[in-house]
Amino acid sequence: MKIIPCVIGLGYVGLPIAQSLSKKFDTYGFDNNKERIENLKKGIDLNNEYKKNELKKIKKIHFTNKILDIKKCNFFILCVPTPIYKDKRPDLRNLIDATKIISKVLKKDDVIFIESTVYPGVTEKCKDIIEKKTNLKSNKDFFIGYSPERVNPGDKVHTLQNIPKIVSIKTKNKLILNRINKIYNQISKKIIRSSDIKAAETSKVIENIQRDINIAFMNEVLLICKKLKIDFNEVIRLAKTKWNFLNFRPGLVGGHCLPVDPYYLSSLAAKKNFKTKIISAGRNINDGMVNYVISLINNFLKKKNKNIKNSKIMIVGLTYKPGVADMRNSLNFEIFKKIKSKNNKTLACDPFVGKIYKLKYKIYNSIKNYKKYDVIIFLSHHSFFEKEYSKIIKQKSRKYILDPFNYYF
């Protein structure tokens, strides 16, 4: 049987997967966002993961937002966002909608893999939806599995091909397993197989929760050092000389994974009358770093007999992490908006921010006229910002720079 894959959801995860599959298969890329599809057809990726010329070279991806166009496909990979509601509950609406779309075109022997981050048991819920909508039976008429995405946007070292790929499905059907191997061997050089789908779902969330907790610990150590007037960087320099010290850094935790995934596991645990402690504490610490930074800014300006309202402020680094255009859950951006609400003349610099944000908020690619600012606040650590920092030091005293997370000094 000829394999015709369809990737549903063409964001930071879905587009690289579609691009990888298109090297071997006639691939369809589906997204509900009509504007996204039109841009991709023109070779434009507003996420800045691909340059225009790179996308134009991809010949075997059929970009579409029309369900009928994917009717011929027989291998579906779901890469839709799974955010949280304002009250921190998991929001599975995108995934449920994608599941219903597949149900309209699903045929006998089709294969479905979910890559979106979920809590354990969601793949089974999607299976139930499909069975109800189609009257087809899982592991007999169609086959559904879970393969957690591990894409790290902006990372040129840990690429899609280099990251080990967990592939979990319960079937023992050799023809189906052979088809799955052909697809995922094209995506990654190393496949880790499992028949325990719930274990695969759980493994994804705890990968990100572990990192969230480790950063929270370093944020707390930073806060303690500030209170005790101890040099944080010197503490870390000494501590990391021990072979088993984990060299995490403090910082603002944003994006589509780390601030979201802990709630996927803790909310499910709560339904089983288990209250998470460490996971919840980590989230509280990391969310609280916004107020910490704002208090630093207030104290910094107070020493100059100024305040936020009457100061010239420049904030450096707005995306949730440097090197990407993604503004989702960016605490950097949240700080910028809070400061700007008190002082509309507040400016920002970040060359990675997309055009829409740059125009709306007047965000610069680099810092202009260093000497005119009362404070320049560095919220991100990146080689580009290091160069900006060096330029400022040459032209202006370090005392005008605020570095809340000790990235530069």
| Catalytic site positions | 257
Per-residue three-class SS string for 113-167: EECCCCCCCHHHHHHHHHHHHHCCCECCCEEEEECCCCCCCCCCCCCCCCCCEEE
- Distance, in Å, from the CA atom of 340 to the CA atom of 347, rounded to the nearest integer, reads 8
- List the 375-378 sheet strands across, edge first: 363-364, 347-349, 313-316, 375-378, 401-402
Helix, strand, or coil (residue 98)? helix
> Letter for the amino acid at 297?
I
- Distance, in Å, from the CA atom of 115 to the CA atom of 372, rounded to the nearest integer, reads 48
**Residue written as token pair 């880790």:** 192
Helix, strand, or coil (residue 175)? helix
> Letter for the amino acid at 405?
F
Residues 6+ apart with CB under 8 A from 387: none
CB atoms within 10 A of CB 278: 12
